[in-house]
Structure 1
Amino acid sequence: MIQVLMSAAAHARIRDRITPIAAQLDIVTVAEGGRYLRNGVEADPATLAPEVVWTTLEAYAGGLLPSLMRVLIDSPSVRWMQTFNAGLDLPIFRRIMEKGVRITKSSAQGVGIAEYVLAHALALIVPIDAQRELQDAKTWGRTPYREVSQTRWLLVGYGAIGEQIAQRARAFGVDLTVVRRGTDAGLAHRTLPLSRIGEALPDTDVVVLACALTDETRDICNDAFFAALKPGAILINIGRGGLVDEDALRRGLDAGRPAHAVLDVFQTEPLPTDHWIWTHPQVRVSAHTSGSGDGVQPRADEQFIANLERWVRGEPLMNEAHRSEVGLA
């Protein structure tokens, strides 16, 4: 039997869909108040020996994540963790992998985040605000603009989320450069390593940060980055706040490089109420919520079910993280 630990709410959602493999599973759930239930009976966490742990977004929101993580960290039996996170920059993930636990990441946020990116980019390229101002003034005036299909985009990062963004950007006919490690990105017109990102900045209209936060990528958007950026460009960050030097961003905005910034992530979260970013007229702020579309949870459930079936059959897992993503060789 494969013991699997998850929240009670997650089990309720997928119970009927794992019936074909249910006989091979010993499901333990964490209920409200952090109680562990096995076969409907409250269990001592010291007696649990899960092989699989599934941490879900609703468990995090409901305060159950500590109960799941406590067993994951303390138990030597855990071999695989499915997380709701797309990035693994938090130190806890290194600690988990050091135990020899395999981690699979969530790609469920990709669709919603990609739609968020395109929506903000379109709203800033097409002069919707200017048109509204003319309407409010009852002024019959023209609002010329550069068509989206004539813009050049730079996408930094090409994981599951980056690929979703690329699909939608290419559908609008944009010229797309991708910054990534390794081989060419299939949807890109050109691919560059991070060391050559400066080559693309003078011609870029929209920069999208969708990469992991590592020692290599921390503060990549610094004074030199913004000085090289095309005047009037748009910066969209849905990766991690640590990718952007916020003081350098302020200086860049004052110089029109970029002209606008769309920020969903920040160096300090929640963003302090006295932070300059809140009130800057060239910045759009959202509270790390770009991946909050209503399709995220169903996709995350399907991904776990598919991976659980693969685990039972001894097959490769989807979206498995490499040790290098947490700084391990």
Structure 2
Amino acid sequence: MIQILMSEASHLRIRDRIAHLVQRLEIVTVPEANRYVRDGVDIPAGDLAPEIVWNTQEAYMSGLLPSLMRVLLDSPSARWLQTFNAGLDLPIFRRIMEKGVRITKSSAQGVVIAEYVLAHALSLIVPIDAQRDLQARREWGRTPYREVSQTRWLLVGYGAIGEQIALRARAFGVDLTVVRRGSEAGLAHRVLPLARIAEALPESDVVVLACALTDETRNLCNDAFFSAMKPGALLLNIGRGGLVDEDALRRGLESQRPAHAVLDVFQTEPLPEDHWIWTHPQVRVSAHTSNSGDGVQPRADAQFIANLERYLGGEPLTNEAERSEVGLD
């Protein structure tokens, strides 16, 4: 029997869909912090030996993450963690991989984050605010703008989320450059390595940050980055707050490089109440919530179930992380 640990709510969502697998599984659920239940009976944490741990966004939001991760780190039998995270920059993931535990990431949030990016970019390219202001003044005026299909986009990062952004941006006919490792273009018109990003900045109307936070990308958006941007360009960050030097961003905004910034992530979260970003007229703020679409959890459940079937069948897992993603090897 393979012991699997998950929150009680997660189990209730999928139990009927994994009924055909239960004869091979010993399911332990976490109904509340530091409480573990097997077959309706409470058991001490020290008696647990999970081989599989499922870390869901719902468990994170309800404060159960420490109860899951503590057992995972203590268990010598742990072999696989399925997490709701798309990026693995938190130190705990390195500790988990150092134990020899495989980690599969979630791609469930890619759709909704891509919709978030496109919605904000389109609303800033098309002069919706100007049209609303004219309406408020009852003025019959023209609002010319550059068509979306005539814009050039620079997408930094091409993982599961980046690919979903590219799919939607290309549907609008944009010219797309991707910064990524490797040379495979995918949906992009061209590919550049990170070291050559400055070549694309002067001609990019929209810059989207969808890459992982690493030693190489920390404070990627610094004074030199913003100085190289095209005046009037847009910056959207749905990656990690550490990608952007926020003081350099403020200086860049003063010179319209970028003209607007859409930020879902920040150096410090929650964003301090007295931070200048809250009230800056050229900045849009959301509270690390670009992944809050109602389709994320169903997609995450389906991904875990499919991976569970693959794991039990000895098949390769989808979206499995490489050791280099947590700074190993």
TM-score (norm: length of structure 1): 0.99
| Cα distance in 2 between the residues matched to 1:122 and 1:191 | 23
SS of residue paired to 2:177 = strand
SS of residue paired to 2:309 = helix
Q: CA deviation at 1:22?
A: 1.4
Aligned residue for 1:215? 215
| Cα distance in 2 between the residues matched to 1:251 and 1:236 | 16
Aligned residue for 1:184? 184
| Cα distance in 2 between the residues matched to 1:162 and 1:186 | 11
Alignment partner of 1:258 is 2:248: no
Q: CA deviation at 1:32?
A: 2.1
Q: Deviations over 1:90-134 (max 9, x none)?
A: 000001100000000011000000000000000000000000000
Q: CA deviation at 1:158?
A: 0.1
Q: Deviations over 1:280-300 (max 9, x none)?
A: 000000000001000000000
* Percent of aligned positions that are identical: 81
Q: CA deviation at 1:21?
A: 1.3
| Cα distance in 1 between the residues matched to 2:9 and 2:18 | 15
After the TM superposition, which parts of structure 1 deviate over 4 Å for at least 4 consecutive aligned residues?
none
Q: Deviations over 1:198-230 (max 9, x none)?
A: 000010000000000000000110000010100
Query: 1:20-35 maps to which residues of 2 (within 5 A)?
Result: 20-35=20-35
Is contact 1:184–1:190 with CA below 8 Å preserved after alignment? Answer: no
SS of residue paired to 1:12 = helix
SS of residue paired to 1:220 = coil
Letter in 1 for 2:208: V
Q: CA deviation at 1:186?
A: 1.1
SS of residue paired to 1:195 = helix
Aligned residue for 2:57? 57
| Cα distance in 2 between the residues matched to 1:249 and 1:233 | 13
Aligned residue for 1:109? 109
| Cα distance in 2 between the residues matched to 1:226 and 1:67 | 42
Is contact 1:158–1:185 with CA below 8 Å preserved after alignment? Answer: no
Aligned residue for 1:326? 326
Aligned residue for 1:67? 67
Is contact 2:154–2:204 with CA below 8 Å preserved after alignment? Answer: yes
SS of residue paired to 1:17 = coil
RMSD: 0.6
Is contact 1:102–1:320 with CA below 8 Å preserved after alignment? Answer: yes
Q: Deviations over 1:133-181 (max 9, x none)?
A: 0000000000000000000000000000000000000000000000000
Count of residues in correspondence between the two structures? 329
SS of residue paired to 1:142 = coil
Aligned residue for 1:142? 142
Query: 1:61-140 maps to which residues of 2 (within 5 A)?
Result: 61-140=61-140
Unaligned runs of 5+ in 1: none
Letter in 1 for 2:218: R
Aligned residue for 2:194? 194
Aligned residue for 1:11? 11
